[in-house]
Amino acid sequence: MLVADSRFFISSRNLWNHQVRSRVTFRNNFIDMHDGLGLCMSSEKLLVLKNELVFHPAPYAGQMNGFFLNEGWMGWNIFNAYIADNDAHDLNGPGDCQPYAADSAWSCMAGAVTAATADTVDVRVDVNSDFKGFDTHELQVVVVQGKGLGQLRRISARQKLGGDPAVVHLAVTPPWDVPPDASSVVGVGSWHVNNVFFRTKATASKSPYNMYYGGCYDCVDAEATSVNTEGWNNWGRIGEFPDGKAWHCPVYFSQLRRSTFSGISPAYSTMGITLRVENETRYYRGLGDYGTEIRDNVIDRSACSNKNQRLAGNAAIATFNQSWMKVTQDTPLILATLCEGNTIRNSAVGFHLSGSFAFAIRGTKYENCPKPVVDNGYRTAILQGDPDPLRAFEEATRKGEAK
């Protein structure tokens, strides 16, 4: 399906048709949103190229967002989307107003592993959000604790085995690299997987330029330009609500690369990169943010140099845990983050780490940044190195100094 060279003036809740599932190209269009969630997309092999989006909210407008991957809750996976060379600007309206987002995947259940083989896993249903979707929705399983941590697999077959609490049997594809065992906890749901935001632009939004929120796996954001937004958020959500409903949607292997951030949010007068986990649980149920990479970006906070981020500390890059339970070395929520080759300008603090684990900072260039790191994390590694190691090697090679 191709939608191209069109102009849309939208007053409905969503521009995108939820029934469109795959092989869609949406390019060279202009979208003027008066209400709704903009491109509320659900598709595999989705191309969104060279579009322009702006908001002019109607008096009746509700929540508004821009280029939005947001259909996991419908039970549809969003795999392999490529969102490039789009321009979202003047996004002033009700609600969050993110120019771009991979948001609100759907959580079915989570629980401990009771048995596993090379291509199956049996899971005890310790918490569930919408178990009726177990029989109807496209599902993946991701290991969030214990042996096999970080692996995501599609579920090719499923069976309820009964019991109290209930146990389910899942066949997975492809087979496990490392089968989980009794030490493992998994989450089951419909996730945003292998999606790419490339060379996107955003200007003037009260919320983050882009946000990976709840249920993103191996998504990449590269060569973005953000001016006068709140920055960039990587936000995992994990645990259960007071009524026992699960929202078990972590963010794993997110990447932010070669992007530039300047200015401030018009509403909150701040800007920065935030890694956050919302942990609403009485019992530890695994990692909310794992394997994030933030590399080769430029963050200039001259417009808010000594002001806290809205959801984290006073820094260009910050971590934050909103947790019902104490975060300890045995119950990490944010684990194994790499920040490499970034340039931080005009910020009172470069990094503010709170409750992070194994956070590595390497090759950072600080310009007018009096305090590089406030470290309230665990096992933080601050490493030396050129901010651009490949360029340094090439220059040394030309001079005959490389070893």
pLDDT at 329: 85
pLDDT > 90? residue 387: no
pLDDT > 70? residue 403: no
Average pLDDT over the chain, rounded to an integer: 87
* Contact call for residues 333 and 290 (beta carbons, < 8 A): no
- Residue indicated by tokens 């975060």: 327
Is 2.40.10 the CATH classification of the domain at 106-190? yes
pLDDT digit string, tens, across residues 119-131? 999 999 888 766 6
Q: What gap in Å lies between CA 275 and CA 321, rounded to an integer? A: 9
pLDDT at 14: 54
pTM above 0.85, yes or no: yes
Q: Between 349 and 239, where is the model more confident?
A: 349
Most confident of 1-10, 14-23, 249-258, 327-336: 249-258
Q: In the structure, what pLDDT confidence band is assigned to residue 42 with cuts at 50, 70 and 90?
A: low
Residue spans per domain, the chain: 1-94, 98-102+192-403, 106-190
Q: How does strand 201-205 pair with strand 2-4? A: unpaired
Q: What gap in Å lies between CA 363 and CA 341, rounded to an integer? A: 5
Stretch 37-60: mean pLDDT: 79
Q: Between 402 and 324, where is the model more confident?
A: 324
| Half-sphere exposure at residue 73, Cβ-oriented, CA atoms within 13 angstroms | 11
Task: Give the helix/strand (H/E) hosting 260.
Answer: strand 260-262
Give residue 235's region: left, alpha or beta (phi > 0; psi -120 to 50).
beta
Which of 324, 339, 341, 242 has its CA nearest to residue 288?
324
pLDDT at 280: 77
pLDDT at 398: 77
pLDDT digit string, tens, across residues 132-144? 677 777 788 999 9
pLDDT > 60? residue 292: yes
Both tokens of 399, joined, read 């001079």
Q: Looking at 14-18, 47-51, 347-351, which range is the least confident one? A: 14-18
What percent of the chain stands above pLDDT 90?
54
pLDDT at 251: 93
pLDDT at 243: 59
Both tokens of 393, joined, read 């090697």
Which of 318, 245, 233, 332 has its CA nearest to residue 280?
245
pLDDT at 254: 96
pLDDT > 70? residue 241: no
Q: Between 247 and 337, where is the model more confident?
A: 337
Stretch 276-301: mean pLDDT: 91
pLDDT > 60? residue 223: yes
Q: Looking at 64-73, 213-222, 347-356, which range is the least confident one? A: 64-73
pLDDT > 50? residue 17: no
Q: What gap in Å lies between CA 245 and CA 257, rounded to an integer? A: 35
pLDDT at 102: 83
Q: In the structure, what pLDDT confidence band is assigned to residue 294 with cuts at 50, 70 and 90?
A: very high
pLDDT at 229: 96
